[in-house]
């Protein structure tokens, strides 16, 4: 099963499962998890090929949804689910294939469509770091800076670096090979989730465009849409208090 991290105690409410995005981990969500755990137990996971979860030979959304179903089964069989980016697609796939497991669904800044961009250049940058010369995170940051000029992106990637172990907690080979599957959306996906769905986006992000609404509504007829002003794709990091308030209001509606 995926590496799983529990915050807070079980209550009479469904637990909240938080699903991170590409190159992320459960630890990216520790602050949000802790704050939301005042009302329900929060389950964080490292997705396959990320963090402390097992490195697997594939990285597809049906596989990721099955992983999440296994976690929910181990924690009562039903949960509210919050997924960001890649994690949002995995959460949507779970809701479409195992709707009985999902109580309420929050999808953060992603749509069930194929995107044309690739993040393989970031994998190339991480692979290029000479780990034998890394004694501190700053050493790795200095090496990354030429290929990844954005300090925030470097800081995010470096959360997956095990400095003492001189290894990345990311399965670069499989993530690179299956990048098109991670940025895409499988063809022929059927099913419909009739439960409550909250499509929460960053107002400065273009990941959830108006032209995607028909596809979203086809899968999720009860989807509601909202944007957080001043937030980009990493909306939970850009505006954490606003993100938390919006998620909390939806879960408690």
Residues carrying an active site annotation: 85, 173, 233
Q: Is the dihedral of CA 16, 22, 27, 31 positive or negative?
A: negative
Q: Please state the φ and ψ torsions of residue 225, each to the nearest 5 degrees.
A: -120, 140
Alpha helices in the chain (DSSP H): 30-36, 61-74, 86-97, 120-127, 137-144, 151-158, 172-177, 179-183, 213-219, 235-238, 240-251
DSSP 145: T
DSSP 184: S
Reduced to 3 states, what is the DSSP secondary structure of residue 212? Answer: helix
How far is the C-alpha of 229 from the C-alpha of 247, rounded, in Å? Answer: 15
């Amino acid at each position: 099963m995926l590496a799983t991290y529990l915050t807070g105690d079980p209550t009479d409410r469904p637990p909240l499962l938080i699903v991170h995005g590409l190159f992320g981990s459960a630890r990216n969500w520790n602050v949000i998890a802790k704050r939301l755990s005042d009302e329900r137990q929060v389950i964080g996971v490292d997705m396959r090929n990320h963090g402390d979860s097992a490195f697997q030979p594939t990285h597809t959304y049906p596989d990721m949804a099955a992983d999440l179903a296994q976690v929910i089964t181990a924690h009562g069989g039903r949960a509210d689910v919050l997924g960001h980016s890649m994690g949002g697609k995995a959460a949507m796939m779970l809701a479409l294939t195992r709707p009985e497991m999902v109580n309420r669904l929050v999808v953060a800044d992603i749509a069930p469509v194929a995107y044309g961009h690739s993040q393989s250049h970031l994998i190339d940058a991480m692979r290029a770091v000479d780990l034998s010369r890394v004694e501190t995170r700053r050493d790795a940051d200095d090496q990354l800076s030429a290929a990844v000029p954005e300090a925030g992106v470097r800081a995010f990637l470096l959360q997956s670096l095990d400095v003492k172990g001189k290894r990345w907690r990311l399965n670069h080979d499989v993530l690179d090979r299956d990048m098109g599957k991670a940025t895409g959306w499988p063809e022929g996906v059927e099913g419909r989730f009739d439960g409550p769905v909250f499509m929460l986006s960053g107002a400065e992000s273009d990941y959830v465009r108006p032209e995607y609404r028909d596809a979203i509504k086809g899968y999720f007829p009860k989807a509601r849409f909202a944007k957080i002003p001043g937030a980009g794709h990493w909306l939970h990091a850009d505006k954490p208090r606003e993100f938390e308030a919006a998620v909390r209001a939806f879960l408690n509606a």
